Every structure is written in structure tokens, then in C-alpha cells.
Structure 1
């Protein structure tokens, strides 16, 4: 793995992955369209840190544009592609579904095509724990059915896995999908609960707590997520002629295809997470308890056994340490 493409490089996870790869001596070409789904200045701040690195090249590319993606793959020879660009967010997909079709479906197809024609050695792409949808059995395992998503965002991520499998099967393109579980930490996304809670508590605003606080999330610290991504990029799936639909797991295939959960593996009650933020801030939150919101799920909980067996991946950062790092970064970055 010498020259790596990272899509969504100004994003929360993408920027950290690029940093890790650069630290390991890789050459990284990063692309992003810097859309305004959330504060562009935060994306630019992440990107500016990367632009200081000698072996980093940035190209402003909207992956939904076929011509731009084709030009990108024609210009560079990528060994590995880590595809993290996507229209994120569950609730936003309820009101703006077409944004998800453009980025998550057409954009994903454009990346697959680029990888196919340039014979990339390994495509690692972002799926999501939201694909588990109406599943109630926990922990979520990669051999569970994921046919009942409860948001369009989740449906596009399930589609990404299906599209990847077809390319693995037809073109022998090794692909690995990663189902992320509630990533949080410094430089995090402003549309996610950890950031929203921190911001509102500091500003004295009331925080909304869904399902009256009876929710569970497998909160996973950003550094642990990045470590898992970088490790799995070196584990290239191979064909398995003995695999069958009837006897094999859906997370593998006769094609060079794999899917993994990547999470902490220990769900946290939402109220306990809020208490950690309150403790780190030294401020008690004003709380508004409300019903479950459309597209939400009650509990997420990752079984990461497969990923550990493949890479030795094991999350290291506990909740107290992770929340403190988030709060310390927020105070420093926003000068509060």
C-alpha cells in the first residue's frame, strides 16, 4: 500500500485516516467536494492540517461527477482506495433523499468503476451500522439479515454493499465494507449527538433526548475506528470457491468480498453518555425528553469478532477518556 486514495478526506473519519496513512509513510491523494451539509469551515480546518504534509495531494472532486472521477483515476495509480465520501445523516435523508442518490449511489458506482478500470488492489468503503434497521437481536453480527432498513441513508449503505459484491464477482475487484458504529471524538461532525450535546450544554441551551433517554449506542472513539480501517486495508479479500450462499455467511463470498462491523463492542446508555459530557464540562444539561424520532433505532451493538480475527483490532479508548478528549478539543477549537 504505497499510493492511497481517500475520498471524503475533509470529513471526520477521512481526515484522520489520511493523517494515519501519512504517518506511516504513504502517499495520500485526498478528494472531497466540501459541501455545506455542515459547517464548511470545520472541513477546511481539518483539510488545512493535511495540506501541511509533504506527501499529501488534495483535489476538489464531487464523486457523483463521472468525468471528474474518471480523470482522477487516469491521473494517479492507486494501490488502495479508502472510500469514505458519502452524504451522511439519517434524519437529513428523510427530507433530502436525492442528495443520497447522487453521492451514495451514483458516487459509489463511479468509485467502483474507477477501481475496476485501474485495477486497484483493494477497495475499502464505508457502510454503516444503520443497515441493521429493524433487527432487535444484539449484538449485531455480520451474518444477520439486513433487509429492513428504517431510513433511506441505511438503504443506500446496504446498496453499497450489494454493488461492491457485484464488482467483486464480475471483475475480481477485492472489496471490504465497514459498518461503522457511532463514531465520536475530537474534530467530530456537528450533526451528531456528541457534538450537539457538548455545544448546547456549553451555550446553556436545552438538549433533546430521544425515546426519553432509553436508547443505547455503541460509541466508538475515532482513533480506534481509524486503527481498524488502516489495519483492514492490508487484509485483501480473496476468492473462496468453497463458499456457497446456503452454507456461508453474507459477510463473505466466493468473490473477493468481505464486510465487517467496526465498533467498540459495548453499548452505552444515552443517559450515561450525557452524564460523561456533563462531568467533563462541569455543567449540568437542561434536558427535554421526547419520543423516538423517525429513522432512529433503539440499540446498536457491534459484534467485532470477525474484524479482530482478521486484524487483531481491539478498541482501546474508554468512554470517560474519549468524552474528555472531545470536550477538551471543542473548548480549544471554539475558544470556549
Structure 2
């Protein structure tokens, strides 16, 4: 297949080699697509996954457009030991991190237009001697960017003010600066990456009933409401602070382009319940689009050929669309937009 003028060049990282990530990448490679894929991985793990699935896989040299069924370009990142399905080895942690950083560096250098990442195993990476809290934080540090985590499916987009914090620490982390950064970053992404000219963002309160006029906590009165008022004066269309227990009612969601939640488990359980298989994880604020699956390594399914590739497919499709929008905005390709009903 010959690449079109507007095809996106995506870096693809399978993640934990003993999990389902390599299988999902092989399944993704079978689909017709208008973007090329370059995997940053160990060829052995990809070939083992293809054999387990009984699917064809052609590994091409880096830089060769991989758009045809079963084609992946490959940048070899060799594991320390050959992975065994379902049994992660901490000795491979370094290769997992190296693949992520090399793929992201390729985006920073302009070789690739975006990166798509599969599931990693945080505990195994830490057991391998690498201090690791998440890929969002890893890529933000590499790029020198202050980022926002957003998860999205075709029902709702949820951005987070705080991410991987103990619940006890969340209230102290809710500041005017953190909330303002999250709202501005989300607003900019909705406009420039997702093609929404005047996005409407719902802002959740921190406390039950959004603090109930200060009787259940003062964060809404002292921090959230003033930050919202300041940004409204700058032209942002913000609704809230809203009680989290009713903000996700379908009739209300239809009026919002995104929801900003104060902490991880305030907004994400609703999103995952509404469409886990097609949800994706986006890192807003990077110089390039990064989209990940919204599920774990599924070690118990690895090598059985039954893992659902829907989230990785949605992640790659979303990343390619955002990449085209960014290139269009810079005048290098034709126009594309993402509707409110799509995962991105």
C-alpha cells in the first residue's frame, strides 16, 4: 500500500512483553489503515504473539511505510530475557522503559507524528530497579512538559486534576494553580486536537454534593469556584462545580464536551463502565499526541489469542486523527476534525 499525502507516522510500543500487548499490536497490524506503524519492541515477542494468534506478520526496516495488512516496521529494542506469556520478568523492565523513551524521542525529533502505547506492569518495572509511577509522568519528564491525563470513549471524556495519588493526599493537591492548568490544557486540547471550536467543560466538586455550600468541605468555595470564575472571565465555557454523583447523568453529559474530575477514581469508574473496551488514555500537553490503551497487561489472557484489541485499535485511530489535525493546523496537510461522539 502506498501512503497518502495525509497519512500519519505512528510509533507503537507494546508494553509488557509477557502480557497481551504484543498480541494486540499484531492484531492492530492486520487492519486496513491510513497510517503507518513502527513498533519499538523485541522481534521475538512480536513473532511469538503472531504465532500464538496464527496471524501473518511482516517486520519491515525502520522508515519503510508499514500500512499493509500484517505489516509493522520495527525498531529493535531487545529484551534481556525471552518473555514467557503470563510471567513478566523484572529483568525486562529496562527494555520496556527504553522502548517508551525511544518512541517518544522519535516524536520529539519529528520522525513520528504520535505514539501509541500498550499496557505496562508498574510493579514489575519497579521490581526491575526503575522508579516508575506511570507512562504519563515518564513522558512528561522527558519532554519537559506539564501534562494532563484524559480518558475518553464515545460517551464521555474525563480529564483529571490529580492522577496517581493516595486518596488521603488528594485534597492537599487541589490548588488553584493545578485546577487552572488542567482546565486550560483541556480547553486547548478540545479546540486544537479535537476540532471543537467552543468546548463546554463540566467541573466536578471535590466533596460530596460539591461541598454543600461549605458544610461538607470548603475546597469548592475557597479554590474551585474562584478558579472557574477567573477562567470564565477569560472566555472559557465552564459549568460547575457540580456534584460528582449526578454530573454523569446522560441528559447532562449531552451538554458537555469533557468533564474535569478532581481525582482518579472520581471520574474514571463512570467512564470505564460506560464503554471500557473502546476507552483510550490521552496525555494532553505533550508536543506530540500520545494515546494509550485503557486496560492492564491481562497476564491471565496472554498467549491464548482471546484478548480484545478494541482499545488499542481505538488508541491508534485516535492518535492518527489528532496527528492529522495538528499537521493541518501547521499547514502541512489537509483538514480533519473529531466529532464529540468519537473516542477523542
| Superposition TM-score, scaled by structure 1 size | 0.37
Q: TM-score, normalised by structure 2?
A: 0.36
Query: RCO (CA 8 Å, sep 6+): is it higher in 1 or 2?
Result: 2
Q: Which has the larger radius of gyration?
A: 2
